[in-house]
Amino acid sequence: MTTASSPKPSSTKHWDAVSVIIAKRDGEVLPDDAIRWFINAYTEGTVADEQASALAMAVFLNGLTPPELATWTEAMIDTGDRVDHSALGRITVDKHSTGGVGDKVSLILCPLVAACSRELAVPQLAGRGLGHTGGTIDKMESIPGWRPELTAAEMKAMLLDVGAMIASASGNIAPADKKLYALRDTTGTVASIPLIASSIMSKKIAGGTQNLVLDVKIGRGAFMTNVGQARELAETMVGIGQRAGVKTVALLTRMDQPLGSMIGNTVEVNESIELLEGGDIAPRSQDLADVTLALAVEMLDMAGIDADPAAVLASGAALPVWEGMVAAQGGDLSAPRPVAAHEQIVEAPSDGYLADYRALDFGIAAVRLGAGRARKGDDISFGAGIELLVKPGSPVSAGQPILRLMSDDASTFEVAADVLADATTIAPEPSEIPDPVIERIS
Ligand code: URA
């Protein structure tokens, strides 16, 4: 695209937002100090939301070179504090997902890994829902009383006492990301490799973990829809981590179908607790358990801990760690969690085998039901969501209930049911359900 002549950023001028936006819009490489100036000015509020949206869109369309991305990530880290966990005397290990539908892995994984060894601490800094994907903090906030923000002293006490924590990456950890993340959610600028990589890695590096496992989702419900893009994102993040001295490994995992059997907030907490209680894994949660255990194996391996996370999960030993984590942040697991005011059942339209649930449409339908946000700052409805009564691979007969929709606003059912009707495939023959873990990148 050609443009009217505009001031070009150079490393000697004083920056203004419009010239930085125009330079990136026109495909130029931004000087380091332009990037640093813009990120700081946006964090401080002198660059407006609409200007940051425009730059995010320009980056979405034109990308960042590796040196630009390194500066962008460092600038985001430098807007806040860096946590130092060295006084804990524990090996720190954390995980982050690029985001999926029904992805409640962190709720199970953090207490599970901590339950595997007292030598470990899992300091997870998490985010809110983004686009059609859910967010760990939103899910945790469906527990009455639970508060996401922890001071450095509270984090330290929790990691020593309980061994794990899930806290919001707000406060003063990469505050630039807090603002940009919410803005990207509502401006169509989420699915960009440099923006995702810098968002995740700025929080994780500032969060102070020594070891990091990334769950890079691929498929129709992920921001990366093919293996090539996902591999590029994984390699980009592993590179940023290694350069910053954080041992980083990535697993590429499938996000074509929603993970597990619940999509929403309260309902995802409920499914996580079922797994943490131990015993046999319900078939409809098997894919969730498989991804969680694959990530746990990597985390333990990086930390040099010899433990069998499958056996620990089955024993129920992670449940007291989870209860300790929730209680330390004011959460009351005995109090009733929000339940949606209305329910609607979706039935199978024909006999056959459930072949497919397209995860993206399920994520969109969950947002329409109230479980996610349409606009920055919207309230969410914690009880809203979707229960998969039947998972792909199972036989179904016409009229059999396959989905339960939950919403506080019954008028949302029609549009959600329409989205889901097109997103569900019933086939005459059973289809193979592939292994959810595709590849490891280190
Ligand atoms: N998760 C994040 O923390 N940031 C993104 O940009 C996408 C997923």
pLDDT tens-digit readout, 249-293: 999 999 999 999 999 999 999 999 999 999 999 999 999 999 999
The token duo for 323 is 């209860």
Does residue 108 carry a pLDDT above 90? yes
Per cent of the chain over pLDDT 70 is: 96
3-state secondary structure 167-229: EECCCCCCHHHHHHHHHHHCCCCCCCHHHHHHHHHHHHHHCCCCEEEEEEEECCCCCECCHHH
Residue of the CA atom closest to atom 1 of ligand 1: 98
CA distance 338 to 188: 30
What confidence score (pLDDT) does residue 375 get? 73
What is the predicted pLDDT for the residue at 168?
86
| pLDDT above 90: percentage of residues in the chain | 83
Does residue 10 surpass a pLDDT of 70? no
Of 101, 106, 130, 195, the residue with max ligand 1 atoms within 8 A of its CB, to mutate for a pocket test, comes to 130
Whether the CB of 196 sits within 6 Å of ligand 1: yes
Quote the DSSP letter at residue 430: -
Pocket probe mutation, ligand 1, options 200, 201, 204, 215, max atoms within 8 Å of Cβ = 200
Q: What is the mean pLDDT of residues 364-388?
A: 91
Q: Which residues contact 95 (CB under 8 A, 6 or more apart)?
A: 105, 106, 109, 110, 122, 124, 212, 213, 214, 215, 295, 299
The C-alpha angle with vertex 140 and arms to 134 and 142, in degrees rounded to 5, equals: 95
Going from the N-terminus, what domains does the chain have, and what CATH number goes with each?
Answer: 9-63 (1.20.970.10), 86-328 (3.40.1030.10), 342-427 (3.90.1170.30)
State yes or no: pLDDT of 6 exceeds 50: no
Compute, in angstroms, the gap from residue 38 CA to the centroid of ligand 1.
Answer: 20
Q: Are 202 and 224 in contact (CB under 8 A)?
A: no
For ligand 1, say whether the CB of 169 is within 6 Å of any of its atoms.
no
Q: How many CB atoms lie within 10 A of CB 437?
A: 19
The Cα–Cα gap between 424 and 129 comes to: 23
Radius of gyration of the chain (CA): 22
Ligand 1 atom with the shortest distance to the CA of 99: 8
Is the pLDDT higher at 269 or at 7?
A: 269
Helices (H), 337-404: 359-369
246 alpha carbon to ligand 1 midpoint, in Å? 18
Looking from the CA of residue 184, the nearest atom of ligand 1 is: 6
pLDDT score at 8: 41
Per-residue confidence (pLDDT) for residue 13, from 0 to 100: 62
Q: How far is the CA of 153 from the centre of ligand 1 (A)?
A: 26
The catalytic residues are 96, 177, 184, 199, 203
- What separation in Å is there between the alpha carbon of 169 and the centre of ligand 1? 11
Nearest CA to ligand 1 atom 7: 196
Mutate to test the pocket of ligand 1, among 181, 203, 216 (most ligand atoms within 8 A of CB): 181
Query: How far apart are the CA of 352 and the centre of ligand 1, in A?
Result: 38
Cβ neighbours of residue 174 closer than 8 Å, sequence gap 6 or more:
76, 77, 79, 80, 202, 203, 206
CB 31 near ligand 1, within 6 Å: no
Tokens standing for 165?
A: 């924590």
Tokens of 400: 């059999």
Using DSSP, state whether 132 is helix, strand or coil. Answer: coil
- Confidence band, pLDDT 50/70/90 cuts, at residue 7: very low
Q: Ligand 1 mean position to 300 CA, how many Å? A: 24
